Amino acid sequence: MDLGIQERLNDFIRRKGLRRTSQRDTIVKAAFSKDEHFTADELFDRVRKLDSETSRATVYRTLGLLVEADLLREIDLGENQTTYDPNFLDKPSHNHLLCIDCGRVVEFEDSHLDMLNDCITRRLGFKPVRQTIKIEANCEQLRLKGRCPNLIATRLTGKRLRKKR
């Protein structure tokens, strides 16, 4: 876990006149312990392993705080629960590719894509702030060979796309 995260949160908390608490520390530790995406509920489970007292409500409240502080980002993976991505600090403009076959998520960055998007935005008369790209795709290797070697390359492990409820 990036050692700067706790500090960043502390800065944010100080600037906003909020308070540092053990619950918030625990939640931050849990949230950034892996680079996997997670839901509020999954985070709650992780938090509970570190501290069996912290409540679900506090997890939700702290998630809001972390998003506001831009330490965490909500992403749309086509699920019903909000999913949080802790990797935007390392890769500020990464995007997501979802494998339709196995549901894994591959993160990727592409500066050309970023630039093209910025051009389009400006051409439309706007000032770019943020762009979100989600690509859904089939695994070509899976189709040809029956397995998904590409997925080894992803930093995200075990993350599966859930069925719509």
Q: Rounded to an integer, what distance in angstroms lies between the CA atom of residue 160 and that of residue 103?
A: 5
Partner whose footprint covers residue 132, from DNA, a copy of itself, none (CB < 5 to 8 Å by kind) = a copy of itself
Which among DNA, a copy of itself, none contacts residue 93 (Cβ within 5 to 8 A by kind)? none
Residues 9, 62, 75, 86: which binds DNA (CB under 7 A)? 62
Across-strand partners of 106? 97
Task: Find the binder of DNA among 12, 33, 34, 40 (CB under 7 A).
Answer: 40
Residue 21 contact, options a copy of itself, DNA, none, Cβ 5-8 Å cut-off depending on partner type? DNA
* 3-state DSSP assignment of residue 82: coil
The token pair that represents 89 in the structure block:
């600090």
Rule CB under 7 A: say whether 60 interacts with DNA. Answer: yes
Of 82 and 117, the one with the shorter C-beta distance to DNA is: 82
What is the residue type of 127? K
Closest to 107 measured CA to CA, from 121, 119, 89: 89
The half-sphere exposure of 17 on its side-chain side, counting CA atoms within 13 A, is 0
Question: Residues interacting with DNA, by CB under 7 A?
Answer: 13, 17-24, 39-41, 53-58, 60-62, 64, 80-82, 164-165
